[in-house]
Amino acid sequence: MSEPDQGNGTPRSGVDDGAHRRLSPRPLNRPAVDPGQAYVFGRPDGVPGAFSADRPTLNGAVQYSPPPPEALSSAFGRVDAETRLQRPPLDTAGEPEVEPVFWEGKPAGDAWRDPGASAVIGPPAVTEEPGEKSEPPAERGPQLSVPELLFGRRVKPLGLTLLLVVALAVGGVGGLVGWFLGRSGNDLTDGGVTLAEVQPGKERPVGSVADIAKRVTPSVVSIEFKGANVAGVGSGVVIDGAGYVLTNDHVVAPAVQDSSAKLTVVFTDGKRAVAQVVGRDSKTDLAVVKVQVDNPTVIQFGNSDDLAVGDAVLAIGSPLSLSNTVTEGIVSALHRPVTAAGENGGPQVTYDAIQTDAAINPGNSGGALVDSSGALVGINSSIRTETGGSVGLGFAISGNAARKISQALIQKGEVKHSDMNINVRSASAETAEGAQVQNVPDGGAAAAAGILEGDVITRVGDRMVRNAAELTVAVRDHEIGETVPVVLARQGRELTVQVTLRSD
């Protein structure tokens, strides 16, 4: 059975008759050569081969490329017709052993495959020679365990003894070498030195800074306020066993103005309690809060009027959020009027301050200033600085004023101050300095006493007045309804008028 070839009409024999016949080669098909292409790409006339006659020669012979190396020729060169790509294995009779192909008895799947071709898949080319037997690998003997080594009589006792002696000798020599190198490595070290301990320990007499700090610190607390838009830390002092804590008004003001904020009092032992504001006095920068706490340590008030410049004082609080911080200094000045702007447009803050060089920083506000006996003589409130840090100019509200105002806040929730009901400004002249009256409202204490606009007040009671702030603190030293002598200058003359103070 045959079918015509699709290319040139020549029949193809043995395609699918199952006889596995070889296909005859197709006849050459030489197409006609285009004369134009032959003219362009053909050899020139008179040139019989691929090499031109003008090719460079050596000794009259054409230079050819050097022959390839023998290794490349044997690996990739042409072979004769008798050479096979792979020699088939030989059977016991010495004849080639040809394995049947996997398509034996089936039509050829590929018409171009020659089932009789000599290149077939066979076993590896390196085979064992007939009659040659490979020796099995030598097996390793069993390893000895420690019990077998010591008690199995597999090793002579003398050998074990010698091994132990050698190991001890090596270890001893290594230890001696290490000790010697350690001793000689640095002449300045001595491993045998033992430092002596001072006995007995340091003595802390009663009244020392350590003794005062130990007694007073438990009564000083940290006050934390935290809300949606505000957060900070201040200080406070426990002034009553019922849980009343005295602090600065500017410490609690942010929490009062922000309804989402919460005040928390933290004691030195780590206890925390939520605080509620009892009362505030923004004019003197004082406030009282209360917490629910059992048996707190209460600070004792001292008499700030007994202080003298040079007396030793301690400032205790939580500067820069560092709780239980104690700094030491002296009283630098007394009756120093301090004025500051009120919180969020509130009334101006003015108080009679104790100046100290004990280090006070942000966070000390509301903390304690105590004397050498541990008594509270001031509430740390502010500093004066050009760098933002402590430069030894700290100010504390006097303890006597703080005691008076905090007691009024606890009893009534508010406090009233004595006032002359006038507006003044600081004035200085060649002959005098004081507080010059700007206006005198009708119905006030100053108007009733006959004080006129333009008068310069230089003294209230026993206290000298040199500026407007000193007039304010001098008047607040007296009680509401008290009549005090006021010295003033009017048109070059000094006058003394009696003023009955009224409430602000």
Distance CA 503, CA 501 (A): 7
Confidence of residue 188 (pLDDT cuts 50, 70, 90): confident
Q: Say which residues have a Cβ less than 8 Å from residue 492's Cβ, sequence separation at least 6.
A: 431
Closest C-alpha to 396, from 263, 302, 265: 302
Query: Do 365 and 382 contact (CB within 8 A), yes or no?
Result: yes
Domains 306-396 and 418-503 agree in fold: no
Radius of gyration of the chain (CA): 57
Name the active-site residue from 222, 235, 249, 285.
Answer: 285
pLDDT one-digit tens code per residue, 349-399: 889 999 999 999 999 999 999 999 999 999 999 988 877 777 888 999 999
**CATH code assigned to 306-396:** 2.40.10.10
- For residue 74, the model assigns a pLDDT of 79
pLDDT one-digit tens code per residue, 464-491: 999 999 999 999 999 999 999 999 988 8
Share the mean pLDDT of the chain. Answer: 81
Read off the pLDDT of each residue in 194-206 and give the average, rounded to a whole number.
76
Confidence of residue 35 (pLDDT cuts 50, 70, 90): confident
Tell me whether residue 250 is one of the annotated catalytic residues: yes
pLDDT one-digit tens code per residue, 273-288: 999 999 999 999 999 9
- For residue 356, the model assigns a pLDDT of 95
Confidence of residue 134 (pLDDT cuts 50, 70, 90): low
Fold observed for domain 418-503: Pdz3 Domain (2.30.42)
Closest C-alpha to 324, from 273, 268, 369: 268
- For residue 491, the model assigns a pLDDT of 86
Q: What is the share, in percent, of the chain residues with pLDDT greater than 90? A: 42
Name the active-site residue from 219, 365, 382, 390.
Answer: 365
Closest C-alpha to 347, from 434, 433, 247, 417: 417
Q: What is the dihedral of CA 251, 256, 262, 264, to 10 degrees?
A: 40
Per-position DSSP letters for 326-366, written without gaps between them: EEEEEEEEEEEEEEEPPGGG-PPEEEEEEEE-S---TT-TT
Read off the pLDDT of each residue in 52-74 and give the average, rounded to a whole number.
67
By CB neighbour count within 10 A (0-12 exposed, 13-18 middle, 19+ buried), where does 14 fall? middle
pLDDT one-digit tens code per residue, 211-269: 999 999 999 999 998 888 888 899 999 999 999 999 999 999 988 888 888 999 999 99
Read off the pLDDT of each residue in 70-85 and give the average, rounded to a whole number.
70
Structure token pair of residue 434: 């004081």
Q: Is the pLDDT of residue 10 over 50?
A: no
- For residue 71, the model assigns a pLDDT of 83
pLDDT one-digit tens code per residue, 321-351: 899 999 999 999 999 999 887 777 677 888 9
Closest C-alpha to 245, from 256, 233, 236, 257: 236
Confidence of residue 1 (pLDDT cuts 50, 70, 90): very low
In the chain, where are the structural domains located?
A: 306-396, 418-503
Confidence of residue 153 (pLDDT cuts 50, 70, 90): low
CB 388: neighbour CB atoms within 10 A? 9
Per-position DSSP letters for 275-295, written without gaps between them: -EEEEEETTTTEEEEE---SS
Name the active-site residue from 222, 249, 250, 398.
Answer: 250
Closest C-alpha to 242, from 292, 201, 193: 292
